[in-house]
Each structure stands twice: as structure tokens, then as C-alpha cells.
A and B are shown apart, each in its own frame.
Chain A
Amino acid sequence: MIDDGVLMNSPYTPGIAAQRLGSDELAKNFADLHAPLDRHEAMVAADRCYFCHDAPCITACPTDIDIPLFIRQIATDTPEAAAKTIFDMNILGGMCARVCPTEDLCEEACVRELAEGKPVEIGRLQRYATDTLMAKGEMPFTRAPSTGHKIAVVGAGPAGLSCAHRLAVLGHDVVVFDAMPKPGGLNEYGIAAYKSTEDFAAREAEWLCSIGGIEIRNEMVLGRDIALDDLEKDFSAVFLGMGLGGVNALSVEGDDKGGVEDAVSFIRTLRQSDDLSALPVGRNVVVIGGGMTAVDAAVQSKLLGADNVTIAYRRGRDAMSASRYEQDLAASSGVKLLFNVMPRAIHGNGTSAEIELEYTSTEGGTLKGTGETIRLPADQVFRAIGQTLHSDEGLTLEGRKIAVNETGRTSRVGVWAGGDCASGGDDLTVTAVAEGRDAAMDIHASLQG
């Protein structure tokens, strides 16, 4: 690692370069976004919960965690019991506590948000409880007697892991096939680094598998190493939780120039890097898109030491799928948010140097260019305009995702799907967990006859 005294580069170094910041500053930049609560802080935060009846926060949580109960258990100094309450509904409650956009979910619904604009800090309390139990290495569930069934799960992301754990608890044996060398899906390869520090995704996956009965086979790709027909033959049921592997293309002139990259692959590299100072980033970075991926790519570029980072979004602020909180996080990190602009061309001699954007307006529901353009310096351009299903495996689609009913059944008998690859629900970690869990319950019910 490079110490601050002998930095080779700075934010002003032209082009795409590594070592813009020293390791101390990088460590500070990529530390926990929200520091964990200590016991006293947790007690004070928990004391604010009213223990509402039929609480709106529970309804707002996609996994229906009994929030008032777990907060009360924290308030009475039994965070381990609180963690059990959380894990009963959401076995990835530890990750969800870190990555849930609580401002759009439980905390938005909290009655104290309505009353005072200051919700109970549900996410941070959830982290306090789950961290306490996981630090003890305890797995608070045991497996039911073996059912003799073996079930295949494709994808070790939140949907697949949640499904696998619930199936294991119910007494089934599970084999999880995943394309990547490590389990966790986007928890491991996608979520912003400052939301999941200290290798949390890997630790969580290991802890989750300590229930037993779950075998993870890495670097096994459905469609390449394994086929759905074979899985159906060899297993009692199949759950598909393979997320969205493909990325939408920009389809503008210059999209193939050097320096133009998918935001998700940039983040993947960043998440797997053990020396952030060695990671190159542009002096002038432009991110195209308006979701969480765009925000994460932009913020992390800035944190790596990029001089100018701009998010260019084709509609207005309100249409952005990144929450207001995420937008503010970007702004406070020094990212510039540019609205109502769409990419027209990327200019440069082999590699990107400038991006040309056209202003837009929406008329009668359709987005149109106004003809007015601007150019921004851009050594690096990230595409963050959405991910797509890699392969539909011959299943019926709804929109661009695998069609499923409310318990995850696909058009093919014996095959369930959930998470980002399946229809319905937002593309969120917590939604994937809920869908994996519910599919497991339905698989179990169907196998019980």
C-alpha cells in the first residue's frame, strides 16, 4: 500500500489512474456508512419505539419482521432474543439492516416519522441485534428431521440463500449452484463497500450455512455446466434465484470506446479489491442512470479520488429510483446530479474524453430530446441503466422477468423462482429474501403432499 507521503497521483491527474488518494484516506472513505450502535445508544434508540399495535412498520417491511417486538427485546437487554425475532422472518436480517433503503420502507412508515420526522432507527437497531447474536457465532435454529428430499437452488444471492436456509430448517437437503467463486450474489459483488464492511457478506453466508444441510457448489453456471432438465430429474424441486446477469446497453455512438464500462462490473472489481489504492478511476467520471447502482458507482468513484463525478439522469429528480436519501448521500459526497439529460455520443480518440448530453422534456408521457446539448469532460463513463435477465430457461416471462405467482411458482411444475430474476416486487435485497423464504415454504408444502 502507498502511504500518503509518496502518492503517485492526485484527483487532478488526467485520465484514468490509480492511487489518487492515500490508504488512510481511502480507509476513512470506505468505512461503515453508519457506525454500529453501542449498547447505550441502542437502549436509547429502542426506548423511542411505541410498541404500536398492528404496527405500520411491520407492514412496510417486505419480510414482515415483528419490529416492535424485536425493539422491545433490545430495550429489555435481550438483543439475542431480538435477533431471533428478526431471523424468524429474515435470515439475512444482518445484511438487510445495512442495505435496506429504510427511508422508503419500515422507517418511512414509522409513526414517529409521521409525528416528528424522526423515525425510530429500525435499521440500526436491527443491526445491533443481529450483530450481537452473530458475534457469538450462534445459529438460533435447528433442523427438522430429514425429509429425504434434495432440492436444487440456482444462485447463492439473497433469494437463493434465504430459500436454502428455510428449506434446510424444514429438514430438506439443499445443493446451491452459483456461477461465481464466492456465495452472496450482489451482497458480495454489488452492494456499496461502505454498506457491507469487514467482509460481512462472506461471514453472513458462512454463518447462514452453519445450519447444515446446505452444500454450495461455486462456479457452476446454469446453461453451461448444468441444465434445468437435469436438475429437475435429479432433485425434488428447483428454485431459481439467479438475479439479473445481463446489463442494458447504452446504444449511443462511442459506447465501445475505452473508459466506457458497466457500473456493476466496476463495482464488482471494487468489492473484490483488497487494495483500493491500486484501483484506477477517472479524473472526470460520468455515470448514466438514476438508480441505486448509479449512485453507488458515482459515490464510490468519488471516494476513490475522482475529481469530478456527475450522475446524468434522463428524467427529473422525482422519477429517480434512488431514494432522496441516496441522492443526498451522493450530493454530500460531492457528486453532481444532472437531471433531464440523455447521452447522445461519447467522443474521444479511441478512449472516452467527453460525453455529449442532450436535454430532455416529457410530453404526453414520452421523453423527447429538446435539441439542446452540452458536453462534459469524461475519462470514464459508467452505464447504470438497468440489468436484465441473462437467460429465461424457456420459462414464461412477465415483462422481462420470469413470471411467478405469489409463492414463486413458475410456468414449469417443480420449478420456483424469486428475487431479481422473477416478476413482482422491487429489486431489493429484502424483497429477494422474502421471495426465497416464501418459495421455500411453498416447496415444502408441495412436497408434503
Chain B
Amino acid sequence: MADLTTDFLGIKSPNPFWLASAPPTDKEYNVRRAFEAGWGGVVWKTLGAEGPPVVNVNGPRYGVIYGKDRTVLGINNIELITDRDLYTNLEEIKRVKADYPDRAIIVSIMVPCEEEAWKAILPLVEDTGADGIELNFGCPHGMSERGMGAAVGQVPEYIEMVARWCKKYYSRPVIVKLTPNITDIRKPAEAAKRGGADAVSLINTINSITSVNLDTMSPEPSIDGKGTHGGYCGPAVKPIAMSMVSEIARNPATHGLPISGIGGVTTWRDAAEFITLGCGNVQVCTAAMTYGFKIVQEMISGLSQWMDEKGHTSIQDFMGAAVPNTTDWQYLNLNYVAKAQIDQDLCISCGRCFAACEDTSHQAIAMSDDRTFTVIDEECVACNLCVDVCPVEDCITMVALEPGTVDPRTGKVVQAEYANWTTHPNNPAATAAE
């Protein structure tokens, strides 16, 4: 069986599945059971500075987006950092780490943006024996109003400054957790690197309102008639998270900076995808909150089966494998020409492809009186919309035209050579092709 052992910043864990800093990692009782269930590591629920802990709302903290069978697609939350005493948390972390030396324990921290605050908490965290720290620069609600969390994460200079303090007062690896509530994710990642951080983790949750109650006119979750934006997470945010991860992985300024991938990881496949985009491991919150700790068993069995099938013996084998294939639009091959093709044996004549193409795309599907649907190659631009809306798997496929054949739409011969926008004659800024 494939070896799932992961070495992230020198921190070893039996598998790449860590629980993200959130309610599942809020206390010793949970973390012990998470380890028993098989999780490779945890990032402890974010600790705040010494003193009276934060308070959470006493009404609903979560909003949800469902599929029609009440499948949880996305959750939003307005929870804050830990509302338990700092010292209680520290003692628990120390005890659990001592009992589980082979699992990773990372301590998430969020204290005010002052050197003294970090100088005060870091030695306490160091003393727990935890494997590293994660700086929560991501929480988008409540804490950000107090100048912490996303309020720091949105200012690259602050990130750099705090990362520097952490490297100064703490000897083990420092991970900076990034907020997605920012226009260009590369900037905070670069700042983290400049500050000396050993890695970044992303994404934290996304600003969101999941729904509005049309009777009370309050956004949900509603606390006594009022709501606020919360942090969105779960399967729905995965595409956004993966794009941000890939930006950091292929940015020359941060390429090679270790990444812990977070956002919607629910199955082994999600994890594999994040890892191919350059992540050294993944963190999970919503899937555990939806299905319980046991869900990691499927992630472990699925990832090892896939690795065995592909002949990967270690996580390293495919880490970052998709990064070289992630590029800018301008470098995509404009000489590649495909056409949609409908398998008439599989087609159930629903007409969805026709409606989509006829009304909103390129009028490239013909419908006969007996409801036979065929692609008009003269019109098809290979946009893929029909494939996306067809209810039958593999019924419509995209078939590449062989070089040397004529594209009936343009009347031009398909070229074998790669050619992109940078050299295209229609591009006013085109550089002459060699």
C-alpha cells in the first residue's frame, strides 16, 4: 500500500489529513478522539491573548447552503476564536502532544498586532511542545473589527511584520494562514515569505450571507432579527481555494513555499487535487463538522487506492504535478481545435444541450422532428456548455480535430504547432512568431 506519511516543514504525520483550526480542534476531548479516528494532525482552535476570553453569540452561528437532498454544500459561520481560557488550552495541548508524539499539533494564534502581545504568548506556546504555529490572519468577522484576523491578513505589511516577530520569539515552524477576502492572494503570500514564514495555509473562510429570511427580512443566521456576514466554507469554496493555492504555487516570488491546502476538502480526491496544485498537506473543517471524525477513513483508503493505481509510492511523487500545467490564458494553445460529439446510443433526447446551445451559445446543435440531436461542426466552437448540462455522463464528448484536417467552422487547416495569443495576428501587442 502507498505510503501516506507526510513531512511538512519537518513535521511528520502518518497522513496528509489535518483538521483545520475550528470547532473540531477546540479541546482535548475532541483532538484525542480525532487522533483515534485516524487524523494525521490538527491545528488547534485559534488561541487569543491572556485575559478574559472572547464571547460568542448565543444564537445560531451557522448558515447553510443545501443540495436538494439536504446535502451540505456550504456552511457559513460567525464563530470567533476559542472562548476558553488560554491556560486551559495550553495545558491540554501539552498533554495531548505528549500522548501522540507521531501526530502533528499546530497551535493557531491570533493576538493584537503589537510586538508585546506576540512576545508574551509565543514562549507559552513553545512550552507545550507543539510542532509549530499557524497565524490566523483570516477570520473575516468579529475579530477583524478588532484589528485582528482578516484585518491583518489584508495588509501585507502587517503580515510581514508579525511573521518576523514570530520567527524572532518562536523556534519552530511558522505557518501564515491567509484570508481569501482580498483581490490578489499573491501579495499576502509574498509578504509572509518576506517575513520569514516557513509556509502559508489557505484559505480561511469567505465573506458571505447564505440566505435572507423573507418574512423577517433578516440575513441568516439571524440573531434576534439581525444577521451579519459570516465565513463561507465547505465543498462550495473548493474551486476558489484551489485557484488561490495555484496562484501562490506558480508565482515565481513564492514558488516552492510550502502550502497547506484548505477549503472544501471532503473526499480523498479533493485532497489529491490540492496536493497536485502544490500543497504539502490539506486541512479539513466542514467535512468533519458534517460527517464526524470517521470521515478520514474514506480519505485515507481512497488516497492510497488512487496512489497504488497510479504507481505513486509517496505524497512527494505527485505533489505539485499539476502546477506546470497551470498557466495564464494568454499561453493556451489557440491552434487546438475540438468539436462536441453526441453519442446517439447514450442520448435520451432531453434537449438540454439544444436549449443551452441554441439560446445561450453558438446555435451549433440541430434538433430533428424525431428529437435526434446532432452537433453542427460548422458552428461548434467547442465551448463545452452542452457537455456541462447534459444529464448523461459521457454522452457528449469533446473530440480534438487532427492536425491537417479542416475545421468546418473556420475553413482553416488545423495546425500541429502550438501558438498562443502572444503571437496571434489579432493581438495588437503580438510579438512576431519565430
Complexed CA–CA distance, A53 and B267 (Å)? 18
- A47 in the interface, Cβ–Cβ < 8 Å? yes
Complexed CA–CA distance, A69 and B293 (Å)? 12
A contact residues around B268 at 8 Å (CB): 76, 78
- B99 in the interface, Cβ–Cβ < 8 Å? no
Q: A53-B292, A76-B268, A78-B306 are in contact. Are A84 and B69 (CB under 8 A)?
A: no
- A34 in the interface, Cβ–Cβ < 8 Å? no
B contact residues around A51 at 8 Å (CB): 291-292, 294-295
Task: Determine the residue in chain A with the shortest Cβ distance to B70.
Answer: A50
A78 touches B69 (CB 8 A): no
Q: Which of B69, B292, B302, B393 contacts A81 (CB 8 A)?
A: B302
CB within 8 Å of B: which A78-118 residues: 78, 80-81, 84-85
Complexed CA–CA distance, A287 and B302 (Å)? 49
- A253 in the interface, Cβ–Cβ < 8 Å? no
Main secondary structure of the interface of B (DSSP, over half): helix
A contact residues around B295 at 8 Å (CB): 51, 72
A76 touches B269 (CB 8 A): yes
Complexed CA–CA distance, A47 and B268 (Å)? 16
B contact residues around A81 at 8 Å (CB): 298, 301-302, 305
A73 touches B302 (CB 8 A): yes
- B335 in the interface, Cβ–Cβ < 8 Å? no
B contact residues around A73 at 8 Å (CB): 298, 301-302
B298 touches A77 (CB 8 A): no
Q: Which of B269, B291, B294, B297 contacts A77 (CB 8 A)?
A: B269
What 0/1 readout, one digit per residue, does chain B (269-280) give for beta carbons within 8 Å of chain A?
Answer: 100000000000
B297 touches A69 (CB 8 A): yes
A76 touches B69 (CB 8 A): no
B305 touches A80 (CB 8 A): yes
Least distance between A135 CB and chain B CB atoms (Å): 15
Complexed CA–CA distance, A76 and B270 (Å)? 10
Instruction: Kindly count the residue-residue contacts between A and B in the assembled complex, taking CB atoms under 8 Å apart.
Output: 39
- A40 in the interface, Cβ–Cβ < 8 Å? yes
Complexed CA–CA distance, A40 and B393 (Å)? 8
- B58 in the interface, Cβ–Cβ < 8 Å? no
B301 touches A84 (CB 8 A): yes
- B426 in the interface, Cβ–Cβ < 8 Å? no
A contact residues around B292 at 8 Å (CB): 51, 53
Q: A47-B69, A69-B298 are in contact. Are A76 and B393 (CB under 8 A)?
A: no
- B71 in the interface, Cβ–Cβ < 8 Å? yes
A78 touches B302 (CB 8 A): yes
Task: Determine the residue in chain A with the shortest Cβ distance to B297.
Answer: A69
- A48 in the interface, Cβ–Cβ < 8 Å? yes
What 0/1 readout, one digit per residue, does chain A (42-61) give for beta carbons within 8 Å of chain B?
Answer: 00000110010100000000
Q: Which of A47, A53, A75, A78 contacts B305 (CB 8 A)?
A: A78
A contact residues around B297 at 8 Å (CB): 69
Chain B interface size, under 10 / 10 to 19 / 20 to 34 / 35 or more: 10 to 19
A48 touches B305 (CB 8 A): no
CB within 8 Å of A: which B283-321 residues: 291-292, 294-295, 297-298, 301-302, 305-306
A contact residues around B71 at 8 Å (CB): 47
Complexed CA–CA distance, A69 and B37 (Å)? 13
A contact residues around B393 at 8 Å (CB): 40
B contact residues around A85 at 8 Å (CB): 301
Output the residue of B69, B291, B305 with the most chain A CB within 10 A: B305
Task: Determine the residue in chain A with the shortest Cβ distance to B71.
Answer: A47
Complexed CA–CA distance, A49 and B291 (Å)? 11
A69 touches B305 (CB 8 A): no
B contact residues around A84 at 8 Å (CB): 301
Least distance between B233 CB and chain A CB atoms (Å): 19
A contact residues around B269 at 8 Å (CB): 76-77
Least distance between B405 CB and chain A CB atoms (Å): 33
Complexed CA–CA distance, A76 and B393 (Å)? 16
Complexed CA–CA distance, A68 and B295 (Å)? 10
Output the residue of B71, B294, B298, B306 with the most chain A CB within 10 A: B298
B contact residues around A77 at 8 Å (CB): 269
Complexed CA–CA distance, A61 and B130 (Å)? 42
Least distance between A392 CB and chain B CB atoms (Å): 44
Least distance between A8 CB and chain B CB atoms (Å): 40
Complexed CA–CA distance, A423 and B254 (Å)? 69
Least distance between B306 CB and chain A CB atoms (Å): 7
A72 touches B69 (CB 8 A): no
CB within 8 Å of B: which A20-41 residues: 40
Least distance between B395 CB and chain A CB atoms (Å): 11
Q: Which of A48, A53, A78 contacts B301 (CB 8 A)?
A: A78
CB within 8 Å of A: which B36-79 residues: 69, 71
Complexed CA–CA distance, A88 and B266 (Å)? 24
Complexed CA–CA distance, A53 and B288 (Å)? 12
Least distance between A76 CB and chain B CB atoms (Å): 4
Task: Determine the residue in chain A with the shortest Cβ distance to B269.
Answer: A76
Least distance between B334 CB and chain A CB atoms (Å): 34
A contact residues around B294 at 8 Å (CB): 51, 53, 68-69
Least distance between B311 CB and chain A CB atoms (Å): 16
Least distance between B204 CB and chain A CB atoms (Å): 25
Least distance between A23 CB and chain B CB atoms (Å): 28
Task: Determine the residue in chain B with the shortest Cβ distance to A85.
Answer: B301
Least distance between B135 CB and chain A CB atoms (Å): 33
Least distance between A70 CB and chain B CB atoms (Å): 9
Task: Determine the residue in chain A with the shortest Cβ distance to B266.
Answer: A76
A contact residues around B306 at 8 Å (CB): 78
B305 touches A72 (CB 8 A): no
Complexed CA–CA distance, A68 and B294 (Å)? 10
Least distance between A78 CB and chain B CB atoms (Å): 5
Complexed CA–CA distance, A73 and B267 (Å)? 9
Complexed CA–CA distance, A69 and B267 (Å)? 12
B contact residues around A48 at 8 Å (CB): 69
Least distance between B226 CB and chain A CB atoms (Å): 33
Task: Determine the residue in chain A with the shortest Cβ distance to B394.
Answer: A40
Output the residue of A72, A75, A80 with the most chain B CB within 10 A: A72
User: A72-B295, A73-B302, A78-B302 are known contacts; what are 6 more A-B pairs with Cβ within 8 Å?
Assistant: A40-B393, A53-B292, A69-B297, A78-B305, A78-B306, A84-B301
Contacts A/B (CB < 8 Å), 11 sampled: A47-B71, A48-B69, A51-B292, A53-B294, A68-B294, A73-B301, A76-B267, A76-B268, A78-B305, A81-B305, A84-B301
Binding site for A on B (CB under 8 A): 69, 71, 267-269, 291-292, 294-295, 297-298, 301-302, 305-306, 393
| 3 shortest interchain CB distances as A-B pairs | A81-B301, A76-B267, A78-B302
Binding site for B on A (CB under 8 A): 40, 47-48, 51, 53, 68-69, 72-73, 75-78, 80-81, 84-85
